[in-house]
Amino acid sequence: MTQTLAIFLDAYRDLNSRKLFWLAIGVSMLVVLIVGALGIDETGVSVFTFHFDSKFVNTLFFPRDLFYKMIFQNLGINIWLTWLAAILALISTASVVPELIANGSIDMMLSKPITRHRLFLTRWVTGLFFAGIQAAVFVTASFLVIGFRGGAWEPGLFLAIPVVIIFFSYLYCFCALMGVLTRSTVASLILTLVFWLVLFGVQKAEQFLNNGRIGSQMEVVAIEEAIEKRLEKNADADVDKLRMELTAERRSAERWSSGYWPAYALVTALPKTNETTEWLARTLVRAANFRRPANEDEGMRFFASARVKRKDFEQTVYDDAEERKGATWAIGSSVIFEAVMLGGCVWLFRRRDF
């Protein structure tokens, strides 16, 4: 315990000495303060003492609490915590492993009665400190703003802290592995950002294929219903054209499916950054009475048609995600990937001569 506390205290001192740490905390607070400075009433919105009339952004359309929750969701989670703050955290902590194994530093550490795997894992966990402190500061401040300004006290909001740490840990385990392999802070940071980009691309591709698969299946069902309806009205009705459409759509649905499942398998094997934050957004609907996140993916409209309404399509995609992409899939399988990465790190760290 003495050793673990010492390593954590050292990590805190390290963070404390970095300007970037305080800059990130400062920006987090500033973002929340700006949100807190926003006000909403029946006639519009206000910033500090300036009032702007609005026919759409007012409490008649948005209850006061929902206004702040939406800002937290769209700005806080989707942009700040899962992108900007995560990048700042990566920049700040990418050096933890390369500095640990740097010549002169590692000799001092390994000559102490602490096992290599414990040393490495404890140091790695301290790297999550940054993301943890940053998320805790931001979420706590947001909780207070939503409470005082929105009048809704939602302790479920604090679920965001562990989820953001887990989200960051997906990237940070890869960063640690690159740190062990390259011994370079810059290389491990760049490779991690590239890895993140690849993950983003793979997940987006999977989502696109999933949308296509679901859209196509809905189209098949809609055509089948249309044929049934027509035949119900008139048994001798000409449905050949519809049947031809159905055959073509079924073929299309098969193609979407055959493309989708390999992508799904790949995404399942990899850490799911997007899916984890989306899971958090869905969970906050239940845990903190958030409004169901609006799907702002304009690509959705391509999968809607005259037979499949966009709203129905979005609902089906949402339900599908709720059913298949729960915490076990989004977080559980990502943590397995993380465990494999960390296992690799520890294996290399234990075997290496320094």
Partner 1 sequence: MQFARLFERVQEFAKSGVHKLRMVGLSTIHGVTLVIDLQDVTKTYRGGVQALRGVSLRVQSGEIFGLLGPNGAGKSTLVKIIMTVVRPTTLTGTVLGRPACTQEVLSQVGYLPEHHRFPQYLTGRQVIDFFGALAKVQRTERKARTEELLEMVGMRDWGNRRVTTYSKGMQQRIGIAAALINDPRLVVLDEPTDGVDPVGRREIRDMLLRIRAEGRTVLVNSHLLSEVEMLADRVAIINQGRTLAQGTIEELTHDSHRYEIDAINGPASIQTAVGEVTGMPSAAEPGLRTYVIPTRDPAVVQPAIDALRAAGITLTRVERARETLEDLFVRSVVDERGRAMPGAARGPGTPTAPPIVAPPRTPSTSTSSTSTPSTSTPSTEARP
For partner 1, the closer of residues 13 and 55 by Cβ is: 13
Q: How far is the CB of 338 from partner 1 (least distance, A)?
A: 26
Residue 71 near residue 35, CB atoms below 8 Å: yes
For partner 1, the closer of residues 3 and 46 by Cβ is: 3
For partner 1, the closer of residues 309 and 352 by Cβ is: 352
CA angle 182, 184, 187 (to 5 degrees): 80
For partner 1, the closer of residues 241 and 351 by Cβ is: 351
For partner 1, the closer of residues 42 and 353 by Cβ is: 353
Q: Does 5 bind partner 1 (CB under 8 A)?
A: yes
One residue of 52, 148, 200, 354 binding partner 1 per CB under 8 A:
354
For partner 1, the closer of residues 113 and 240 by Cβ is: 113
Interacting residues with partner 1 between 190 and 229 (CB under 8 A): none
Q: Does 347 bind partner 1 (CB under 8 A)?
A: no
Interacting residues with partner 1 between 72 and 111 (CB under 8 A): 102-111
Q: How far is the CB of 138 from partner 1 (least distance, A)?
A: 25
Count the neighbouring beta carbons within 10 Å of the beta carbon of residue 79.
12
For the window 110-129, what string marks contact with partner 1 as x by the rule CB under 8 A?
xxxxxx--------------
Among the residue ranges 1-9, 87-95, 199-207, 335-343, the one whose residues contact partner 1 (CB under 8 A): 1-9
For the window 7-46, what string marks contact with partner 1 as x by the rule CB under 8 A?
x-xx--xx-xx-----------------------------
For partner 1, the closer of residues 184 and 316 by Cβ is: 184
* HEC assignment per residue over the chain: CHHHHHHHHHHHHHHHHCHHHHHHHHHHHHHHHHHHHEEECCCEEEECCEEEECCCCCCCCCCHHHHHHHHHHHHHHHHHHHHHHHHHHHHHHCCHHHHHCCCCHHHHHHCCCCCHHHHHHHHHHHHHHHHHHHHHHHHHHHHHHHHHCCCCCCHHHHHHHHHHHHHHHHHHHHHHHHHHHHCCHHHHHHHHHHHHHHHHHHHHHHHHHHHHHHHHHHHHHHHHHHHHHHHHHCCCCCCHHHHHHHHHHHHHHHHHHHHHHHHHHHHHHCCCHHHHHHHHHHHHHHHCCCCCCCCCCHHHHHHCCCCCCHHHHHHHHHHHHHHHCCHHHHHHHHHHHHHHHHHHHHHHHHHCCC
| Number of residues forming the site for partner 1 (CB under 8 A) | 28
Q: Does 234 bind partner 1 (CB under 8 A)?
A: no
Q: How far is the CB of 339 from partner 1 (least distance, A)?
A: 24
Interacting residues with partner 1 between 254 and 313 (CB under 8 A): none
Q: Does 351 bind partner 1 (CB under 8 A)?
A: yes
For partner 1, the closer of residues 49 and 103 by Cβ is: 103
Write out the residues near partner 1 by the rule CB under 8 A. 2-3, 5-7, 9-10, 13-14, 16-17, 102-115, 351, 353-354
